[in-house]
Amino acid sequence: MKRTRLVFSGSGGQGVITAAIILAEAAVIYENMNAVQSQSYGAAARGGSTRSDIILSDSNIYFPEVTSPNILVCLTQEAYAKFSPIIRPGGLLITDSKFVQTFKKIDAKQIELPMYETVMGKIGKPIVFNICMLGALIGITDLLQFDSIMQVLKTKIPSYFIKMNEKALKTGIDLGSQQRQSL
Amino acid sequence: MNKNIKFVQGNEACVEGAIYAGIDFFAGYPITPSTEIAELLSRRLPQKGGKFVQMEDEIASVCAILGASLTGHKVMTATSGPGFSLKQEAIGYACMAEIPCVIVNVQRGGPSTGNPTHVGQGDINQARWGTHGDHSIIALTASNHQDVFEMTIEAFNLAETYRTPVILLFDEAVGHMREKLVIPEKNEIPIVNRLRTALKKGVDYHPYLPREDGRLPMSDFGGDHRYNVTGLLHDMWGFPSNDPKVVKGLLHHLNDKISNNIHRITRYKEHYLEDAEYILISYGSSARTAIHIAKNRRARNEKLGVLELQSLWPFPKEMVREKCRNAKAVLVVEMNMGQVLAQVKACIDRPETVFLANRIDGELITPSDVKSILRVIQGRGV
Amino acid sequence: MQAKQYIRERFFPHMWCAGCGHGIVLNSLLRAVDQLGLDKNNVVMVSGIGCSARISGYVDFHSLHTIHGRALAFAAGVKFSKPELKLIVPMGDGDALAIGGNHFIHAARRNMDITAIVMNNRIYGMTGGQFSPLTGVDKNTSTTPFSNIDNSFDTVELATAAGATFVARTTTYHVLEMTALLKKAIEHKGFSVIEILSQCPTQYGRKNKEGDAPAMLDHFREMTAKADSEKIKKNPGLISRGIFVDRSDKPEYCEQYEKIIQKAQKAIKGKQ
CB-based contact A28 B5, cutoff 8 Å: yes
- Window A:143-172, CB contacts with B under 8 Å: 151
What is the four-CA torsion angle of A23, A29, A35, A39, rounded to 10 degrees? 50
pLDDT at B272 over 70: yes
Is A38 near chain B, with CB under 8 Å? Answer: yes
Angle subtended at Cα C241 by Cα C237 and Cα C245, rounded to the nearest 5 degrees: 115
Average pLDDT over residues B135-158: 98
Let me know whether B42 and B189 are in one domain: yes
pTM, 2 dp: 0.97
Residues of chain B contacting A35 with CB distance shorter than 8 Å:
7, 178-180
Nearest CA in chain A to B175: A38
Q: Name the residue type at position C55.
A: I
Each residue of B209-221: pLDDT tens digit?
Answer: 999 888 999 999 9
CA atoms of C187 and C197, how far apart (whole Å)? 21
The answer to whether the bond into A114 is cis (omega within 30° of 0) is no
Q: Do chains B and A touch (3 or more CB pairs under 8 A)?
A: yes
CA atoms of B46 and C80, how far apart (whole Å)? 13
Confidence of residue B381 (pLDDT cuts 50, 70, 90): confident
**A-contacting chains (≥3 CB pairs under 8 Å):** B
Residues of chain A contacting B116 with CB distance shorter than 8 Å:
43
pLDDT score at C91: 98
Q: What percent of chain A has pLDDT over 90?
A: 86
Residue (of A14, A85, A100) closest to A52 by Cα position: A14
Each residue of C125-142: pLDDT tens digit?
Answer: 999 999 999 999 999 999
Nearest CA in chain B to A32: B1
pLDDT score at B71: 98
Q: Report yes or no on B293 lying in a domain.
A: yes
pLDDT at B190 over 80: yes
Let me know whether B13 and B42 are in one domain: yes
Q: Report yes or no on A91 lying in a domain.
A: yes
Let me know whether B141 and B168 are in one domain: yes
Number of residue pairs across B and C with CB atoms under 8 Å?
134
Let me know whether B252 and B302 are in one domain: no
Let me know whether B233 and B145 are in one domain: yes
Let me know whether B241 and B293 are in one domain: no
Nearest to A64 among B118, B180, B288 (CB): B288
Angle subtended at Cα B109 by Cα B106 and Cα B113, rounded to the nearest 5 degrees: 95
Strands (E), A29-176: 34-39, 49-57, 71-74, 91-96, 108-113
Each residue of B314-355: pLDDT tens digit?
Answer: 999 999 999 999 999 999 999 999 999 999 999 999 999 999
| Complete domains list, chain C, with CATH | 3-271 (3.40.50.970)
Q: Report yes or no on B382 lying in a domain.
A: no
| B307: CATH | 3.40.50.920
| B128: CATH | 3.40.50.970
List residues in chain C touching B: CB distance below 8 A: 8, 10-11, 40-42, 44, 46, 56-57, 60-67, 70, 73-82, 84-85, 102-103, 106, 257, 260-261, 263-265, 267-268
Confidence of residue B359 (pLDDT cuts 50, 70, 90): very high
Let me know whether B84 and B59 are in one domain: yes
Q: Report yes or no on B190 lying in a domain.
A: yes
Let me know whether B169 and B62 are in one domain: yes
CB-based contact A37 B177, cutoff 8 Å: yes
Nearest-Cα distance to chain C for B89, in Å, is 8
Confidence of residue B1 (pLDDT cuts 50, 70, 90): low
Let me know whether B174 and B277 are in one domain: no
| A72: CATH | 3.40.920.10
Domain count, chain B: 2
Q: Report yes or no on A110 lying in a domain.
A: yes
Let me know whether B108 and B173 are in one domain: yes
pLDDT score at C115: 98
Confidence of residue A47 (pLDDT cuts 50, 70, 90): low
Nearest CA in chain B to A44: B117
Average pLDDT over residues B227-233: 98
Each residue of C199-219: pLDDT tens digit?
Answer: 999 999 999 999 999 999 999
Confidence of residue A1 (pLDDT cuts 50, 70, 90): low
pLDDT at A14 over 80: yes
Report CA B349 to chain centroid distance, whole Å: 26
pLDDT score at B368: 97
Each residue of C141-171: pLDDT tens digit?
Answer: 999 999 999 999 999 999 999 999 999 999 9
ipTM: 0.97
Nearest to C73 among B60, B227, B237 (CB): B60
Domain count, chain A: 1
Average pLDDT over residues B90-94: 98
CB-based contact B289 A21, cutoff 8 Å: no
Give chain B's mean pLDDT: 97
CB-based contact B49 C80, cutoff 8 Å: no
Q: Report yes or no on A164 lying in a domain.
A: no
Confidence of residue A42 (pLDDT cuts 50, 70, 90): low
Confidence of residue C270 (pLDDT cuts 50, 70, 90): confident
- In which domain, by residue range, is A98 found? 3-114+142-156
Let me know whether B185 and B290 are in one domain: no
CA atoms of B153 and B140, how far apart (whole Å)? 11
Residues of chain B contacting C265 with CB distance shorter than 8 Å:
46-47, 49
Average pLDDT over residues C241-252: 98
pLDDT at A43 over 70: no
pLDDT score at A32: 94
Let me know whether B14 and B160 are in one domain: yes
Q: Report yes or no on A134 lying in a domain.
A: no
Number of residue pairs across A and B with CB atoms under 8 Å?
63
Crossing angle of helices A162-177 and A146-156, rounded to 10°: 150
Residues of chain B contacting A39 with CB distance shorter than 8 Å:
176
Yes or no: say if C119 and C91 are a contact pair by the CB < 8 Å rule.
yes
Q: Report yes or no on B342 lying in a domain.
A: yes
Residues of chain B contacting C78 with CB distance shorter than 8 Å:
67-68, 70-71, 221
Q: Do chains C and A touch (3 or more CB pairs under 8 A)?
A: no
Each residue of C59-91: pLDDT tens digit?
Answer: 999 999 999 999 999 999 999 999 999 999 999
Residue where a domain stops, chosen among B214, B237, B265 = B265
pLDDT score at A169: 98
- In which domain, by residue range, is B308 found? 270-377
**B-contacting chains (≥3 CB pairs under 8 Å):** A, C
